[in-house]
């Protein structure tokens, strides 16, 4: 949803309700000026920005695919990199 700054001021309650469902873009002088989002979405963005979420996703991936990762490591230990013998022309 997008709304002018004047309309946002006059309909703040509606803007806040809408922001719980989807971002509300507020325009000033015909240009996008800011965005109103839910506090839940804001907290999620902070976690992603801090890298905490990425570390958590990496741990989950490693746990979920630990058998596959171990098999890949075993292949590497046994055979090395597939392109070790390639020559750069």
Q: Residue 26 in contact with residue 3, Cβ under 8 Å?
A: yes
Residues 4-59 have pLDDT tens digits of: 999 999 999 999 999 999 999 999 999 999 999 999 999 988 887 877 777 888 89
With both helix axes pointing from N to C terminus, report the angle between 39-50 and 52-64 in degrees, rounded to the nearest 10. 70
Average the pLDDT over 64-70 and give the result: 95
Nearest-angstrom CA–CA distance, 47 and 38? 15
Specify the pLDDT at position 10.
97
Specify the pLDDT at position 41.
95
pLDDT at residue 88 greater than cutoff 70: no
Give the predicted TM-score (pTM) of the model.
Answer: 0.57
pLDDT at residue 82 greater than cutoff 90: no
């Amino acid at each position: 949803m997008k709304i002018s700054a004047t309309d946002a001021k006059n309909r703040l309650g509606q803007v806040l309700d809408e922001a719980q469902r989807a971002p509300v873009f507020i325009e000033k002088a015909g240009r996008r000026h800011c965005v109103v989002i839910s506090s839940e979405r804001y907290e999620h963005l902070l976690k992603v920005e801090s890298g905490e979420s990425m570390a958590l996703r990496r741990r989950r991936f490693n746990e979920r695919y630990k058998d596959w990762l171990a098999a890949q490591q075993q292949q590497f230990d046994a055979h090395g990199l597939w392109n070790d013998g390639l020559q750069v022309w």
